[in-house]
Amino acid sequence: MFLEIAYVAAGSLAVSPFLPDKKMSHKKKLNIIFRRTGFMRELRDLYGNLKPKPPRFNGVNKTDRYTDYIYSIPLGLTLSENLDKSIIEAFDQPVKVTSVGGRLHIRFYPEDLPEKIPYVEVPKKSGWRIPVGASLDGWIYHNFEKIPHMTVAGTTRFGKTVFLKTTLTYLTENQSEDVRFHIIDMKGGLEFGPYEKMKQVVKVGSDVGEAAELLENIKKDIERKMRYFKRKGYNNIVNTPIKTRNFIIVDEAAQLTPDKHTDPEVKKIMGKCQSNLSEIARVSGALGYRLIFCTQYPTGDTLPRQVKQNADGKISFRLPTGTASRVAIDENGAEYLPNPGRAIYRTHERDIVQVPMLEDDEMKRRLKPFITEEKAVVESGRSSNKNVSGAEGDNIMEFGYD
């Protein structure tokens, strides 16, 4: 089993007053930490009494990127958040603690991640993968064919919209023929409005009413697609000739959550948006929809249960508290992220990454060639004659707003 507990940039946490001397060897320091956190095995002495001993040391693996200290995990013990945090706080260099197949790996890196990585440095990948960011072990990609839905959390100004913009740009550049975007931009369309003219962008909804209409149309399309899939005997789009993928991007979902001051009529519309989003998350992945659901304030209200349960990819930028972190990614850690663009990416594994930075000017320059007269759909009524599915003759798959 692979379990990665945590890595937080060294120096970002308060320093414990019980730290061992800085000049001590790594091994010696680790033994003190093992003792103080109770991560010890037991051996019998000459008189048959059980005595605590540090875990068995298996050696050091040095590569050009890291130095790994490897220990056997004593039987009956597991890697705890306490041990992990104690190790991270004790060293003034980046360190990652993982457990793999009964071994504890304590991996030291010579340098921390940079605070900014320009988008141009992202290595190109094919398929429906997008770059989440660079980790200390290399680039991490999210594969939407394997994990269709994703949540993105993070307090204001820590990089959610930049991440969404890198995703839109990367997918457009890589999959220009087959990608479709349906964007809810609750900042009044300020962030994504300029891209509505792109062939790949079906619609940018910029207020509650437009969001509701967009989601209602998607729901109808999902119902049509379900009937079509049934007729054809398809169970998952990845096993069909259909090439199109529809991405629903929600930037600032908290704006779709009513509070006690919300007008009752608006409340009703927001309720409908929430239930449609839940339904989309529940059933649409196999039909080729990919939801990227983004929120500043992850709470039980702003992050509907169905959305969270069905989004197996979770990204969090810095959050104000451990409680918010647990709502967003099911564990503490996002409250310690040090700078904008630094994020925790969680699937069944966990990585700390620096998300690539895409400046608005560069995004505009890269996407300019995709702004054309030819749209995938006609916004005001009918779908175009373009077969969006990519499957010949399957015009049931066309997307249009009724």
Ligand X SMILES: Nc1ncnc2c1ncn2[C@@H]1O[C@H](COP(=O)(O)OP(=O)(O)OP(=O)(O)O)[C@@H](O)[C@H]1O
Residues that bind ligand X (CB under 6 A): 116, 154, 156-162, 296, 340-341, 355, 357
Q: Which is nearer to Mg ion, 175 or 257 (CB)?
A: 257
Q: Which is nearer to ligand X, 333 or 340 (CB)?
A: 340
Chain residue whose CB lies nearest ligand X: 341
Q: Which is nearer to ligand X, 107 or 342 (CB)?
A: 342
What minimum distance in Å lies between the beta carbon of 151 and ligand X?
Answer: 14
Q: What CA–CA distance (Å, rounded) separates 318 from 334?
A: 5
| Residues of this chain, 220-249, that bind Mg ion according to CB under 5 A | none
Letter string b/e over residues 171-200, b meaning 16 or more CB atoms within 10 A of that residue's CB:
bbebbeebbbbbbbbbeebebbeebbebbb
What minimum distance in Å lies between the beta carbon of 249 and ligand X?
Answer: 12
What minimum distance in Å lies between the beta carbon of 154 and ligand X?
Answer: 5
What minimum distance in Å lies between the beta carbon of 261 and ligand X?
Answer: 21
Identify the bridge partners of residue 345 per DSSP, sorted by sequence position. 315, 351
Q: Which is nearer to ligand X, 154 or 333 (CB)?
A: 154
| Strand blocks (E) in 79-149 | 95-100, 103-108, 129-135, 138-143
Smallest Cα–Cα separation from 355: which of 96, 201, 170? 170
Binds 159: which of Mg ion, ligand X, none (CB < 5-8 Å by kind): ligand X
| Residues of this chain, 142-181, that bind Mg ion according to CB under 5 A | 160-161
Cα–Cα distances in angstroms (integers) from residue 207 to residues 30, 168, 183, 186, 193, in the given order: 54, 20, 11, 6, 12
Q: Which is nearer to Mg ion, 318 or 350 (CB)?
A: 318
Q: Which is nearer to ligand X, 152 or 377 (CB)?
A: 152
| Spatial contact of 248 and 292, defined as CB atoms under 8 Å apart | yes
Considering Cα of 20, then 23, then 24, then 29, what sign does the dihedral take?
A: positive
Look up residue 138 and give its amino acid. G
Q: What CA–CA distance (Å, rounded) separates 49 from 42?
A: 9
What minimum distance in Å lies between the beta carbon of 157 and ligand X?
Answer: 4
Binds 341: which of ligand X, Mg ion, none (CB < 5-8 Å by kind): ligand X
What minimum distance in Å lies between the beta carbon of 127 and ligand X?
Answer: 23
Kindly state the DSSP code that residue 49 receives in the 8-state scheme: -
Interface residues toward Mg ion, by CB under 5 A? 160-161
